[in-house]
Structure 1
Amino acid sequence: MKRAVSVSIGSSKRDKVVEVELLGEKIRIERIGTNGDMEAAALKFKELDGTVDALSVGGADLGTLVDGVFYPFHSVQPMIRYVKTTPVVDGCNLKNTLENRAPAFLEEKIGKYIQENGGKKVLVTMGGERWGLSSSFVEAGYEAVFGDLMFTMGIPVPIKSLNALKWTTKMIVPVATRFPLQWFYPTGEQQHVRTPKYTNYYDWATVITGDCMYIKQHMPDNMQGKVIVTNTTTPEDVALFKKLGVKYLVTTTPVLDGRSFGTNLIEATLVALAGKKRPLTLQELEEMIDKVGFGPQLQELN
């Protein structure tokens, strides 16, 4: 049996193991949280190196790819310093392949609902982190607000165009990536804290998309009729969305045994299945996605 493991600095309460059959092969897909402890994560990577088929970094990214330029997160890179044998990924490439398909999927499945309930307006919590998702929504005709300054730095200034997003990212990311990750992303127990904020932008948008942690972090109590596009959702997340009135939930990664895993672990799964003992190129990922049949999934919650 093949094995793909995500070592995450997120809460261990979100851990999950599933065993599935894909392309005729059994594979164990596992998420291990270290509750914000980066050194514990590094040691877990060391323990697993050479014993599994693919590893992935969860709860953080090794860097971010914006318009073809890669910016490394210097505080995260040491987490994988002990990995010498097993291929390790962070989902960055998958974000720029699988997630690009979300706007077309929405149009096909609930395009009429979106038009009749506020129109094509999307709040992207962190556009620079998900450049493929951001650009695909804009190309699909959505009016967009990118919350990068709000959700990472607490600056209540919306970004309203891809050019502005690109400029802001190129200015801020090289500096921000040198600070501790905890300064701008919830880790450990902070992932379970919700403080409503920026309500006017949630209210304005018909679709809210991005990292599930960022979406929940400042989500208001009234999400009546909203469409959420995200991944890494647990049954508890889905219950919260339903309670607050979310109409539709679209997960960009497949739901396996009640859980949609992050792009990092799904990319590791595809790497393990391919058996090349290295990360896959964008083209190879696209081919594997089509072979396995992975794609967005829609749940009607209310």
Structure 2
Amino acid sequence: MTAPTDSTDATDSLFKVRNLSKRYGSNTVVDDLSFDIAPGECLGVIGPNGAGKTTTIRMCLGLTVPDSGTIDALGLSMPRDALAIKAQIGVVTQFDTLDPDFSCAENLVVYGRYFGFSKREILPRVPELLEFAALSHKTDAKPGELSGGMRRRLSLARALVNDPKLLLLDEPTTGLDPQARHLMWERLQVLLQQGKSILLTTHFMDEAERLCSRLLVLDHGRKIAEGKPSDLIAEHLEPDVVEVYGNGAVALAEVPELKAMAARVEVSGETVFFYTQDARALLAALGARQSGLRTFHRPANLEDLFLKLTGRQIREDG
């Protein structure tokens, strides 16, 4: 079996995936993927559309059967022990699966019954779950009366009904405004502080950097990088980035004097990105050029990493 590539001790892992593969016809969606999740850790999975993120989540939930590989969770094996594993995990999917006919409180009670809890057992937990989701004032409201952020928080509260050790979150903040996203992040950070583990897929690099202890970068179904966000940035990127835009900016990408001051130069739309070990000389040279240019100097970040490893070309879903 392929050994983990990070420092996580496999013997202490809450969740272990080894050599996981899934094909649909001639298309390999997940290709020999291995990873571990430690107790209290948030493992982020990032990659472009079609990278295999959702298929990986579905296999981890026993909803899709892998062609090869193993999934061990909480000392059990998926899909053989799917029901026992699902009883100890919580799930928030990309799409809203709340029951529109039930109130917030009723959604939690009915979901709890799926785990074998009696109504008497689950009712005392409803107020604390709604309080955690900042929805105490919406106890009797139905999902259709809630904002998108409220519905996502209710979905998170519902996923906690069985007090899971592990949460699987598939793009949980997609479609939310910045305020709603930040409130969701704050709730997820509370869960991590409580010792719960999270497997998170996301398209938001600021979300990944804020929440994740480690990251997997997937492309075309394969793991192309793994590690702590800060370590991956240091390993793959130059520390300084200078963005240049405005009239005549794109032409600067071919100026030998400027290219010599950068390790890499990339053009996206009307913006030129200079990646460099030290931006001071480059900024001085740009400042001496014609007016009309605008520059933005910043440290390298996860978005730069993502684009370097997977490319800037837009990909369609599927």
Q: Normalising by the residue count of structure 2, what TM-score does the alignment of the two structures yield? A: 0.25
With normalisation by structure 1, the TM-score equals 0.26
